[in-house]
């Protein structure tokens, strides 16, 4: 091929067109199939187009320089050497200077700019993905998966052509775009794998985003290489007569995309970077001879390692051989031997661990989200969500940690205000009342039949969650809102557990429901303050009722006792008025008979009786009527009680 042929430029234009077509396909797949991998693939396809245009510009300037040199050589042949016009000949070489400036200034600048922009894109896209809780799934992944496969095959065929064409003279600048074309085809293959997994319901929630993150990391590494390549180019030693290598060419991709073996490409890259023949050093030759057997030995050892499986004490296993279950009887804890991967495997399940599913909104109060293996059980924490620092969360504060809000459930509601005299509610109102409650209900369960749980159902955990949600809806529509939020919550927990267990047993889910917690039930956040007011008013009303009942308890017995006292007093007064006068009359008649019989004795008896009863507390002095004219002086002052000190024994003795 002639050195001035436009073929290298046209090839660069052709690979740019291919990159542009793949870019359109990548954007189509990313938007219609919700494929996250293609957001990385679209950048790779765009770089194919840009690097193809950069290579086309370099080939165009190189061709113009060669044409200019050929014209100058023909001029010297026809006019001979002329020292007068030698300097002028150097001054008019515009194409040579343009080619040199393009390579010296434009290519480094565009390399750094592309590297920085791609790095920023990777950082922004990573932050967006990190803040996204759930990623959409393709509504119909099979057509888009087939389109990705076709694009991968087409890009592989086109890359093979351009990689072979890059060995031609003057087509060296075709290799950067062809290397990125190979990387774009690889991303199309990864997108097809993710879409096929979604179609066959395998790792639906994690396959696409996991592959996309790996692809994004690879793209970020390649963008960093572009920037570092610009810096390294200043300090790299040059070898005389070495082949020009484009600055935009990726050394990482060239290991896999340049024509020839991988070992030879690595050797050429080392020779280019260090400036001397590293591939001729004895140590490198030793590695080249031993690295392949060493890698083969490592692969064999890794395959043999997969023949040994250890099942822990809290686990059970199911043995699969060539994709089929060997025995439905689960394997207990211990060491087991099997065929190497991928011919056989033993899938382990933590059946002794208590697992959790959440009905309603996720709270995340110190809760760690667990990774699901899509067999219906978890393998430990995957990532920690933010949680509230306070232990008490009011009903007016959002309980959810994400932007999707909380799930509301319909619950029955009895009418307010219709209360009988005994405190019970009236039953004559047939109007249906409904309310809303927000639910965060953790349900805990264990696997009791491993085969039924893992193989008879697709995603048994999700099925259990759906069954529990159905039973929750049925139960909430049959009970009163205030009951389930208050005094009958424990009973609701028991009934829900029994209903969910019965529903799971009917379909043979193979689980044992341990506990259903209703502690997370609360009114919707929007009506939380109003509900607090209603609750406060209800509590105030109950307080007034209790105070009235307390006062009634105090006053009713007092009033009854007072009434009984008044009644008894009235009966006593009645009895007194009816019987006392008659008794007095009978006594008077009796006294009259005694008086008539012996008046003197009756008077004396009456006098003595009066002295005995009425004058028992008074002092009495008996005087004899025979004392004559003696004057008796009586000291009527009140004295102490008589004692031995009052006795005048001396006087009495002398008198005696």
Residues, the chain: 656
- Residue percentage of the chain with pLDDT more than 90: 8
pLDDT tens-digit map of 196-206: 888 887 777 78
What is the DSSP code string of 496-534?
HHHHHHHHHHHTT--EEEEEE--TT-B--GGGHHHHHHH
Residue 91 has pLDDT above 80, yes or no: no
549-552 long-range Cβ contacts below 8 angstroms, 24+ apart: none
Q: What is the mean pLDDT of residues 511-520?
A: 81
Indicate the range of 184-198, 226-240, 558-572 predicted with least confidence. 226-240
Residues 464, 377 contacting (CB under 8 angstroms): no
pLDDT tens digits, one per residue of 352-378:
888 888 877 655 544 444 444 444 444
Q: How many angstroms separate the CA atoms of 65 and 102, rounded?
A: 12
d(CA 532, CA 555): 34
pLDDT tens digits for range 173-200: 888 888 888 999 999 999 998 888 888 8
> Among 114-118, 425-429, 562-566, 586-590, which is the least confidently predicted range?
425-429
Cβ burial, residue 47 (10 Å; 0-12/13-18/19+)? buried
Q: Are 79 and 20 in contact (CB under 8 A)?
A: no
| Helix, strand, coil distribution of the chain in percent, nearest 5 | 60, 10, 30
Average pLDDT for 496-504: 87
Counting Cα atoms < 13 Å in the Cβ hemisphere of 192 gives: 17
**In the predicted structure, residue 478 carries a pLDDT above the cut 90:** no
pLDDT of residue 374: 42
Cβ-proximal residues to 649 (8 Å cutoff; 6+ apart), any chain? none
What is the pLDDT, as a whole number, of residue 96?
75
List domains and CATH numbers for the chain.
7-237 (no CATH), 308-349 (no CATH), 355-418+431-523 (3.30.479.30)
- Give tens-digit pLDDT for 165-175: 877 777 888 88
Q: How is residue 207 annotated by DSSP?
A: H
Distance CA 352, CA 368 (A): 19
For CA atoms 541, 545, 546, 548, the dihedral sign is positive
- The region of weakest confidence among 155-169, 206-220, 415-429 is 415-429
Least confident of 73-77, 311-315, 417-421, 518-522: 417-421
Q: What is the pLDDT of residue 560?
A: 87
Is the pLDDT score of 223 beyond 50? yes
Q: What is the pLDDT of residue 328?
A: 80
Other residues' Cβ atoms within 10 Å of the Cβ of residue 641:
5
Q: What is the mean pLDDT of residues 115-121?
A: 91
Band the pLDDT of 21: cuts 50, 70, 90: very high
Helices (H), 34-140: 37-79, 86-91, 94-101, 107-130
SS3 366: coil
pLDDT, position 84: 47
Q: Looking at the predicted structure, is the pLDDT value of residue 51 above 80?
A: yes
CB 219 within 8 A of CB 46: no
Question: How far is 591 from 325, CA to CA, in rounded Å?
Answer: 124
13 in Cβ contact with 171 (< 8 Å):
no
Categorise residue 440: left if φ over 0, alpha if ψ from -120 to 50, beta otherwise: beta
pLDDT of the residue at 426: 53
The alpha carbon of 552 is separated from its chain's Cα centroid by a whole number of angstroms, namely: 53
In angstroms, the CA 640 to CA 644 distance is: 12
* Residue 574, pLDDT above cutoff 80: yes
pLDDT, tens only, 516-556: 887 777 777 777 677 777 778 888 888 999 998 888 888 88
Instruction: Report which of residues 319 and 264 the model is more confident about.
Output: 319
Whether 386 has a pLDDT exceeding 50, the answer reads: no
Quick one: pLDDT at residue 646?
52
- Looking at per-residue pLDDT, the higher value among 296 and 179 belongs to 179
Residues 333, 313: Cα–Cα separation, whole Å: 5
Structure tokens at 493: 């927990």
When pLDDT is cut at 50, 70 and 90, the band that residue 217 belongs to is very high
**All residues at 6 or more sequence positions from 483 whose CB lies less than 8 Å from its CB, including other chains:** 492
CB count in 10 Å sphere of residue 360: 21
Taking 80 as the threshold, does the pLDDT of residue 468 lie above it? Answer: yes
Whether the per-residue pLDDT at 117 is higher than 90: the answer is: yes
| pLDDT of amino acid 43 | 92
Task: Select the more confidently predicted residue: 648 or 590.
Answer: 590
The whole-number pLDDT of residue 383 equals 43
């Amino acid at each position: 091929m002639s050195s001035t042929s436009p073929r290298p430029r046209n090839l660069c234009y052709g690979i740019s067109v291919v990159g542009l077509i793949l870019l359109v396909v990548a954007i189509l797949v990313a938007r219609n199939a919700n494929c996250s991998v293609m957001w990385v693939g679209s950048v790779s396809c765009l770089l194919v187009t840009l690097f193809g245009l950069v290579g086309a510009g370099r080939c165009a300037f190189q061709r113009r320089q060669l044409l200019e040199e050929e014209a100058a050589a023909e001029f010297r042949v026809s006019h001979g050497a002329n020292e007068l016009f030698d300097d002028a000949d150097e001054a008019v070489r515009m194409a040579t200077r343009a080619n040199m400036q393009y390579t010296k200034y434009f290519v480094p600048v565009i390399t750094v700019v592309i590297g920085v922009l791609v790095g920023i894109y990777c950082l922004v896209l990573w932050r967006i993905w990190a803040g996204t809780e759930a990623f959409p799934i393709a509504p119909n992944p099979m057509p888009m998966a087939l389109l990705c496969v076709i694009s991968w095959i087409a890009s592989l065929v086109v890359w093979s052509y351009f990689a072979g064409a890059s060995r031609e003279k003057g087509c060296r600048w075709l290799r950067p775009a062809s290397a990125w074309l190979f990387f774009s085809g690889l991303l199309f293959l990864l997108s097809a794998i993710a879409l096929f997994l979604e179609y066959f319901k395998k790792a639906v929630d994690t396959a696409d985003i996991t592959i996309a993150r790996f692809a994004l990391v690879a793209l970020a590494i390649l963008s960093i290489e572009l920037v570092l390549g610009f810096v390294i180019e200043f300090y790299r030693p040059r070898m005389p007569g070495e082949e020009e290598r484009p600055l935009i060419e990726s050394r990482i991709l060239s290991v896999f995309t340049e024509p020839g073996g991988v070992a030879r490409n690595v050797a050429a890259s080392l020779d280019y970077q260090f400036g001397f023949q590293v591939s001729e050093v004895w140590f490198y030759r030793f590695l080249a001879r031993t690295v392949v057997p060493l890698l083969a030995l490592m692969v064999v050892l890794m395959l043999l390692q997969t023949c040994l499986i250890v099942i822990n004490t809290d686990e059970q296993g199911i043995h699969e051989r060539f994709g089929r279950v060997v025995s439905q009887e689960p394997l207990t804890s211990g060491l087991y031997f099997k065929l190497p991967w991928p011919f056989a495997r033993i899938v382990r399940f933590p059946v002794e661990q208590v697992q959790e599913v959440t009905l309603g909104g996720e709270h995340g109060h110190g809760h760690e989200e667990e990774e699901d293996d899509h067999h219906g059980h978890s393998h430990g924490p995957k990532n920690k969500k933010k949680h509230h620092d306070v232990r008490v969360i009011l009903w007016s504060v959002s309980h959810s940690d994400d932007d999707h809000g909380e799930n509301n459930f319909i619950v029955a509601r009895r009418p307010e205000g219709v209360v009988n005299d005994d405190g019970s509610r009236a039953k004559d109102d047939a109007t249906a009342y409904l309310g809303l409650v927000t639910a965060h209900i953790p349900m805990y369960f264990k696997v009791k039949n491993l085969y039924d749980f893992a193989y008879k159902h697709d995603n048994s955990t999700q099925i259990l969650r759906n069954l529990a949600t159905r039973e929750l809806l049925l139960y909430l529509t049959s009970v009163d809102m205030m009951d389930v939020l208050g005094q009958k919550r424990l009973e609701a927990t028991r009934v829900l557990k029994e209903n969910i267990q019965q529903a799971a047993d009917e379909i043979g889910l193979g689980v044992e429901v341990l506990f259903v917690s209703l502690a997370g039930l609360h009114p919707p956040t929007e009506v939380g303050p109003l509900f607090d007011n209603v609750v406060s008013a209800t509590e105030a009303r109950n307080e007034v009722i209790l105070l009235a009942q307390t006062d009634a308890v105090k006053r009713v017995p007092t009033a009854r006792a007072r009434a009984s006292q008044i009644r008894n007093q009235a009966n006593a007064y009645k009895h007194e008025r009816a019987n006392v006068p008659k008794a007095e009359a009978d006594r008077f008649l009796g006294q009259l008979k005694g008086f008539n019989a012996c008046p003197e004795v009756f008077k004396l008896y009456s006098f003595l009786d009066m002295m005995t009863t009425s004058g028992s507390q008074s002092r009495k002095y008996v005087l004899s009527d025979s004392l004559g004219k003696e004057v008796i002086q009586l000291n009527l002052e009140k004295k102490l009680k008589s004692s031995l000190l009052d006795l005048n024994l001396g006087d009495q003795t002398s008198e005696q």
